[in-house]
């Protein structure tokens, strides 16, 4: 994606010349609603809202990097539209999680937009993490980059971008995401608990066996930041 020749919109590639057009469109589409600036979102992230919405930072950290357990996803800098969609899906039950569902339900529509806007604009360092088995990472790289013809399985990067960099506004980055989280979500799709993206992620997850899931998760975790950590761990 170097050089900015393309922007991608929900997997749709467009020329840079469109940036202006699309920006106009986005503004026009949202002009009826108040523009979230993320400032109030930061307060919600730090302190929560009244009852029912604890501080997001408790799990995701104030910078959106979460912690090294991988129990909570890294959300720093994810596209705002993606974050809003996930919160709405948690609220509606299309996506289900014992912690996130009640939180998302308790958020007002405005607060939801605010907190999404806040985390979309944060950046967080990549924590030093234990290196995964290199054979597993290699298999993950193969699936991420090329897919697997024997399973009629396309590459992850077709939609998630080169190296899993993300394809805003709807497709999240996977680069540097915690392996534990990525693997868990793929299992949720595969087993039918996660119901958003039935046309794409459900179909793909069904073609992945448990080792494939471990492999892609391990690969994407080490794409950003963790390679240095991996070397350090070895030494």
Partner 1 sequence: MAERLKPVDVVTIGVGLTGSLSALELARTGLKVVGLERGAARFTVPDFQSPAIHDELRFSIRKGMMQDNVKEAVTFRNSSDETALPIRRWESFLPGTGLGGAFVHWNGQTFRFQIADFIYKTHIEQRYGKEILDPELTIQDWGVTYAELEPHYDRFEYLCGVSGKAGNIKGQIQPGGNPLEAPRAREYPTPPMKEPYFAALFRKGAESLGYHPYPQPSSNLSQPYTNTEGLRLEQCVFCGFCERYACEHYAKASPQTIVLPKLLAMPNYELRTNCQVLRINLDSTGKMATGVTYADGSGREFEQPAQLVLITAFPLNNVRMLLLSGIGKPYDPKTREGVVGRNYSYQTTGGPTVFMDESININPFMASGANGTMIDDFSGDNFDHGPLGFIGGQYVGAIMTNGRPIEFHPTPPETPKWGLKWKQAVAAHYNHTILIQQHGTSTASRLNYLDLDPTYKDAWGLPLLRMTFDFPENDIRMSQYIADRVVEIGRAMGGKTVVRGGTRRPYTTTAYQSTHNAGGAVMGDDPKTSVVNRYLQCWDVPNVFSIGGSAIPQNGAYNYTGTIGALTYWALDAIKNQYLKSPGPLVHA
Q: Which residues bind partner 1 (CB under 8 A)?
A: 5-6, 9-15, 17-18, 20-22, 25, 28, 145-149, 152-155, 157-159, 162, 199-200, 203
* Nearest residue (CB) to partner 1, 199 versus 235: 199
Contacts of 178 (CB under 8 A, 6+ apart): 66, 68, 69, 70, 72, 73, 74, 129, 221
Smallest CA-to-CA distance from 213 within 143, 121, 148, 150 is with 143
Q: What phi and psi, each to the nearest 5 degrees, are found at residue 123?
A: -135, 150
* Nearest residue (CB) to partner 1, 15 versus 39: 15
E strand residue ranges, the chain: 6-9, 12-15
* Nearest residue (CB) to partner 1, 118 versus 173: 173
Cβ at position 181, least distance to partner 1 in Å: 24
Cβ at position 10, least distance to partner 1 in Å: 8
Cβ at position 202, least distance to partner 1 in Å: 9
Cβ at position 8, least distance to partner 1 in Å: 9
* Nearest residue (CB) to partner 1, 12 versus 98: 12
- Three-state SS at 192: coil
Smallest CA-to-CA distance from 178 within 232, 229, 122 is with 229
């Amino acid at each position: 994606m170097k050089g900015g020749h393309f922007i991608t919109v929900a997997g749709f590639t467009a020329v840079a010349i469109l940036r202006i057009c699309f920006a106009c469109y986005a503004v026009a589409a949202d002009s009826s609603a108040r523009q979230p600036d993320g400032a109030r979102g930061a307060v919600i992230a730090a302190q929560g809202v009244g009852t029912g919405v604890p501080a997001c930072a408790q799990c995701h950290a104030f910078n959106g990097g979460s912690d090294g357990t991988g129990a909570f996803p890294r959300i720093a800098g994810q596209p705002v539209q993606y974050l809003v969609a996930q919160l709405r899906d948690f609220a509606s039950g299309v996506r289900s999680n014992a912690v996130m569902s009640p939180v998302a339900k308790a958020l007002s529509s405005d607060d939801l937009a605010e907190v999404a806007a806040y985390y979309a604009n944060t950046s967080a360092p990549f924590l030093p993490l234990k290196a995964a088995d290199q054979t597993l990472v290699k298999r993950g790289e193969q699936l991420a980059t090329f897919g697997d013809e024997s399973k009629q399985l396309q590459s992850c990067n077709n939609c998630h971008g080169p190296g899993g960099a993300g394809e805003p506004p709807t497709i999240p980055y996977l680069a540097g995401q915690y392996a534990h989280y990525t693997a868990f979500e793929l299992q949720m799709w595969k087993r039918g608990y996660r119901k958003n993206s039935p046309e794409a992620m459900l179909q793909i997850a069904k073609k992945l066996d448990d080792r494939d899931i471990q492999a892609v998760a391990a690969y994407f975790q080490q794409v950003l930041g963790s390679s240095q950590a991996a070397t350090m761990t070895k030494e």
